Amino acid sequence: MKSLSNQKLVFSALCIALYIVVMICTQSFAFGQYQIRIATALYGLSAIFPFLILPFGLANVVSNTVMGGLGLPDIIGGFIVGIVTTSIIVFAKRRGCGNWIIWAAVTFVPGLGVPVWLSVLLDIPYLVLASSLLIGQCICGIASVMLVTALERVGAGKLFAFDGGKQ
């Protein structure tokens, strides 16, 4: 059993690292007007590997700390958005929802949640920020569904000894 938890820990660390690398490589448009944060497409992996809820929240903390520059509200807010988004995905998938729920969670939770504090920090109206973030997150939601669907088709959960986190 100890080997199983070690495997999950290593896989979680790899997912955090991948999130950060994707954010670094895409930061030119991840922080723009439409904030297309392709790294948030990785949130969908929690549909296959539910133990990634906390790691993706932590990945968001690291990302916002290193690249965000908007301080503690952005760091804490990003953590909460990462946890809520991945939790919704896990909860809904366990209840039998299709992969459309991944698109909805990745699009609407960050798209409507992040502007709550950004509108205050940047002094930009909420609706302006929400509309632009929703557009960017919609793209990420589609990418997330495509990623998860492809991984499910090849049986990604069974490729790992932890069997998709179902143990």
Domain annotation for the chain: domains and CATH numbers: 2-157 (1.10.1760.20)
pLDDT of residue 167: 41
Give the pLDDT band (50/70/90) at residue 165: very low
C-beta contacts of 29-36 below 8 A and 24+ residues apart: 30/67, 31/67, 31/68, 33/132, 34/132, 34/133, 34/135, 34/136, 35/114, 35/132, 35/133, 35/136, 35/137, 36/136, 36/139, 36/140
| Ramachandran class of 68: left when φ > 0, alpha when ψ lies in -120 to 50, beta otherwise | alpha
Residue 32 pLDDT more than 80?
no
Question: Encoding tokens for residue 127?
Answer: 């609706």
> How far is the first Cα of the chain from the last one, in angstroms, to the nearest whole number?
10
Measured in degrees and rounded to the nearest 5, phi and psi for residue 162 equal -85, 5
What digits encode the pLDDT tens for the residues 121-140? Answer: 999 999 999 999 999 999 99
Instruction: Report the distance separating Cα 165 and Cα 142, nearest Å.
Output: 24
Bigger pLDDT: 51 vs 1:
51
**pLDDT at 57 > cutoff 90:** yes
Q: How confident is the model at residue 1 (pLDDT cuts 50, 70, 90)?
A: low
**pLDDT > 90? residue 3:** no
- pLDDT tens digits along 135-163: 999 999 999 999 999 999 988 777 665 64
pTM: 0.89
